[in-house]
Structure 1
Amino acid sequence: MNTLEGKVVLIVGGSSGIGFAVAKYAILSLASRVIIASSTSERVTAAVQELTAITMGKNLPGKIIGEAVNAKESASVKGLVNRIGEIDHLVWTSGESLKTGFKDVDLDGCRDLFDIRFWGAMIAVQNAKFRHGGSVVLTTGSTVVKPPPGYALVAGLAGAIDAVVRGLAVDLAPIRVNAVSPGVVNTKLWNTLPTESRKKVMENAAAKLLVKHVAEPDEIAEVYLFLMKCDYITGQRIEVDGGNRFV
């Protein structure tokens, strides 16, 4: 079975949430280097320290490296991938809080919706130097299949990522390109809500889902590792939504 042993994995958005969970399991899976990149050096340093504490005493061969990057700026993203050099796998989970609503929103103010999640990822993919057998794993969302009210623009973003994965799989072959489509996940992106409101959202979501719980980042991370390791999958979107599309 294919493994991550000896591999170099770059995770943009790796300081928290799903990206952090992917970084944790990559280093535990014997990757030789796991590079986590995020928007500020403070967040990166804190994440590296936490990962180091988690892996302490396990006698693992890999190194955890932190890099700051402004995913909105082409030069910053290009500089990141050039500094790192050859990699085996690129994972992109980076993104700001999503903007919802449509009828009454200022659409000109929403043009930056694509800056990090789409254009930032495209710049990284275009400039990264992949080793033989390399792969890209992007992140879309369950809105691509089942957008709730107010998520029209978010669904457009998710659909763009979903579509470009298939195009990139053709253009970059034999480099593999896939996407993970998470449903509701308990990450810090929900911290913009008051505590009680967040709790209610999570409880309501869990009650509706077939699996009867909201995902933790570790559950979603498993899919990213699968897509990195399986050499016979490309151009695919994997739904990890707890059965949301069926309810």
Structure 2
Amino acid sequence: MNAFPSKKVLVVGGSSGIGEAVAKAFAEGGAEVTIASRSKTRLDQAAQGIGKEVQVAVLDTADVAAVEAFFADRGPFDHVVISAAQTPTGSVRELPLESARAALDSKFWGAYHVARAARIAEGGSLTFVSGFLSVRPSKGAVLQGAVNAALEALARGLALELSPVRVNTVSPGLIATPLWSKLSDEARGAMYEAAAERLPARRIGQAEDVANAVVYLAATPFATGSTVLVDGGGAIA
């Protein structure tokens, strides 16, 4: 069923992982999808995999001028999704300050820049992707939890400021994406197996699970200011 016929959708971070799954879900719903990220090569690869005449745009969300120029040159989008981020892990006392600030620039300020400049049609939506560490902190990833919490708070405030544009957040748990490709097959498999045993859902999340939640929020006109957990029960386990 085409839930988004001819709707214009932008997925920032749509070149891999969760963002790519989100873009594919919208495209299969009949939307006119544009995916954006910093890598033209990865964008082209993702677009070929998604099909459906997906458009690509090279965009660095840390570059304020580039973000503003991108939206100034385009008409309004019906739905904008932001899943682009790089957030290194490490304890507060050991993670270099430069890395910590880079994480904020990537995940929080990048989303802030897009939210500030994006042109979204009335009744459309803006959706952030955060992470369940905002409510279930980890001593080895304190910064990530703080950034995710800030992103969710930003979305709630923007739901008021940008009304009637709707603003929501999807908060994933452990998701099997290329993010973990640097681990060996053995280490990655062991991590997934241990997590599946611990989680109430008894499985690891897939990018499509998160995409389902994003599409639900975009398609539900009464959903705004919400944070939807898609974590297999990680926040309560």
Q: TM-score range by the shorter chain?
A: over 0.9
With 72-81 and 134-143 compared, the bigger mean Cα shift is at 72-81
Number of aligned residue pairs: give it: 237
1:26 aligns with 2:26: yes
- Aligned match of 1:70 in 51, 60, 64? 60
CA distance in 2, matches of 1:4, 1:99: 37
Q: Is the 8 A contact 2:2 2:29 kept in 1?
A: no
* Cα separation, partners in 2 of 1:106 and 1:97, compared to 1, 3 Å: closer
Structure 1, gaps ≥5 residues long:
56-62
2:235 aligned counterpart, secondary structure: helix
Shift of 1:83: 2.9
In the TM superposition, residue 99 of structure 1 has moved relative to its aligned partner by 2.5
Aligned equivalents of 1:5, 1:86: Cα separation in 2 = 16
The worse-fitting range, judged by mean Cα deviation, of 86-95 and 117-126 is 117-126
Name 1:152's counterpart in structure 2: 142
Write the letter of the residue equivalent to 1:38.
Answer: S
Q: Which whole-Å CA distance do the structure 1 matches of 2:195 and 2:67 have between them?
A: 35
Tell me the distance in 1 between the aligned counterparts of 2:172 and 2:228: 8
Q: CA deviation at 1:97?
A: 4.4
Q: Distance in 2 between matches of 1:196 and 1:204?
A: 12
Provide the C-alpha distance between the structure 2 equivalents of 1:113 and 1:221, rounded to a whole number of angstroms.
Answer: 23
CA RMSD of aligned residues (A): 1.6
In the alignment, what sits opposite 1:205?
A: 195
Structure 1 counterpart of 2:7: 7
Is residue 195 of structure 1 aligned with residue 185 of structure 2? yes
Deviation at 1:194, TM superposition (A): 2.5
Could you say what secondary structure the match of 2:175 adopts? coil
Query: Distance in 2 between the 1:15 and 1:136 partners?
Result: 18
Normalization by structure 2: what TM-score? 0.95
In structure 2, how many angstroms separate the alpha carbons of the residues matched to 1:189 and 1:97? 11
Structure 2: gaps spanning 5 or more residues: none
- One-letter code of the match for 1:15? S
Q: More displaced, 77-86 or 220-229?
A: 77-86
2:18–2:207 Cα contact (<8 Å) kept: yes
Q: Match for 2:37: what amino acid? A: S
Where do 4+ consecutive residues of structure 1 move more than 3 Å?
none
Deviations, residues 65-105 of structure 1 (Å, cap 9, x unaligned):
01111122112222222233210000000011432222323
Q: Which of residues 192, 211, 221 in structure 1 aligns to 2:211?
A: 221
Q: Distance in 1 between matches of 2:134 and 2:76?
A: 32
CA distance in 2, matches of 1:11, 1:84: 14
Q: Using the TM superposition, give the Cα deviation of residue 29 of structure 1 relative to its aligned residue in structure 2, in angstroms.
A: 0.5
Residue 41 of structure 1: how far off its partner (Å): 0.8
Distance 2:19 2:70 in 1: 17
Asked if the contact 1:99–1:113 (Cα under 8 Å) also holds between the matched residues in 2, the reply is no
Q: Normalized against structure 1, the TM-score is what?
A: 0.91
